[in-house]
Amino acid sequence: MWRYVVKAAAWLEIVVGAIFVVVPDMPCELVFGARLDSISRLLARWVGVSLFALGIACLPSTSVELQRTAVLGLFLFNAAVASLFAWAGAVAAVHGFLLWPVVILHAVIAVALLPQLLSTRGRWYIASVLDEVISRSERK
């Protein structure tokens, strides 16, 4: 089940990233209800390239290690986007009619990925990543 969620989430990021690169005004107006100026158009395209790359990196692989990394990366991305956009909808003055559906979609994807991260293998992986980060910071 989780493999399908990862694959669907990865392809969603690829498609949305391509849309941001090609026509950055459209998703910004639909989600935030805001028109772009020159610098924000550049930043929107940068976001598009980042989403596209994230989607490519998270496409399911035959390597177990890469699959776990993809799940963790997609979970963190979707949880952060849901939180950031929910904050924007509650506090900021920028929101379009697709803002809350986007928040819900990213929250649902994050929740769908959570069981894989909380499984025995998932906990082991998260613990090993945290251990590696701590040991790197101690060496510096």
Question: pLDDT of 24-78, one tens digit each?
Answer: 999 999 988 888 887 788 789 889 888 888 888 888 777 766 677 778 888 888 8
3-class SS at 68? Answer: helix
DSSP tally for the chain: helices H, then strands E? 6, 0
pTM comes to 0.61
> Which one is predicted more confidently, 120 or 43?
43
| pLDDT given for residue 27 in this prediction | 92
**Length of the chain, in residues:** 140
Nearest 5°: the CA angle 118, 58, 77 is 65
Q: Are 117 and 75 in contact (CB under 8 A)?
A: yes
Domain boundaries, the chain: 2-139
Amino acid at position 47, single letter: V
Q: Residue 121 pLDDT > 80, yes or no?
A: no
